[in-house]
Amino acid sequence: MTTDAAAAIRHHYDVGNEFYRLWLDESLTYSCALREQPGETLHAAQENKLRFHLDAIRPETAGTVLDIGCGWGSILERLAAKGIRAVGLTLSDEQAAHVRARAYPGVEVRVQNWTDYEPGSRFGGIISVGAFEHFATPADSPEEKIARYRHFFTRCRDWLTDTGTLSLQTIAYANMSRDAASSFMQREIFPGADLPTLAEITVAADGIFELEKFHNGRLDYAWTCGEWARRLRARRDEAIELAGPEIVERYERYLKMSAIGFRMGKISLYRLVLRPCTSGWSR
């Protein structure tokens, strides 16, 4: 992840914890939910998503877990409740302060880029939700993007035990090319960030990880963005008091555009469960 991309994350996530608390669910989970039943609440669907990633790394045998892009700590909280030691990486000072204030037992949170992180021992599981889409920039060539992603996969493999698991969730370009991406999104929401394609992810992971499970959740993300937009509208006056009218209008536009993009298939949401190619794992 470049310095510019790190600054972009702070630009987005350091708007303020209280602003996000107005319209996210109780767990402060800011990524695509997973609907399993009609009529589920946003919170229930977010719990489904968290459980998906926790189940993927087999927490009962994982030992220590690394959460790359830990957000406000919803996964770290659930790992701590299971008595599992965990490390969370974030580039947001606001998010790190929130997690540290909770003082989850066995949890360490670091304001640090994964490119600079050097663990003292290996992990039985790595979870990364919503960070991968920030690793490349619009200035990168396709070859440079793949090289960045391959570096990430290589580091994750080296950090995992031979029987470890990487559970990855990312937004990606689908039937829209990067040249057709919204300038508003690239300029105002996630400046300096560029989404991957499924092909780029596949090529980057080739020979490093074996894909065990793949899930396309784009319609879930269209619904999630719609729910966030509805909740923000319901508390719009409070949001304006906290962040100002320009930021609120920016987020309303961003959530509406995102919902449309996912619904139309311009962008997608992938959940991938991967095991190191050298692991020799078995059922």
Q: What is the pLDDT of residue 243?
A: 92
Q: Which long-range contacts (CB under 8 A, 24 or more apart) does 199-204 make?
A: 200/142, 200/145, 200/146, 200/149, 201/132, 201/149, 201/170, 201/172, 201/270, 201/272, 203/146, 204/146, 204/147, 204/149, 204/150, 204/152, 204/153
Please name the residues in contact with 11: beta carbons below 8 A apart, sequence gap of 6 or more. 191
Residues in the chain with pLDDT values less than 70: 1-14, 180-182, 184-190, 279-283
Q: What is the pLDDT of residue 249?
A: 94
The tally of CA atoms less than 13 A away on the side-chain side of residue 203 is 12
* CATH code that applies to domain 3-15+39-218+265-275: 3.40.50.150
Sorted by where each begins, the domain ranges of the chain are: 3-15+39-218+265-275
pLDDT in tens, 10-60: 444 457 889 999 999 999 999 999 999 989 999 999 999 999 999 999 988
Q: What is the pLDDT of residue 181?
A: 67
* Tokens encoding 274: 């991967």
Give the H or E element holding residue 108: strand 107-111
Q: What is the pLDDT of residue 178?
A: 73
Phi-psi sector, 103: left (phi>0), alpha (psi -120 to 50), beta: left
Q: What is the pLDDT of residue 180?
A: 65
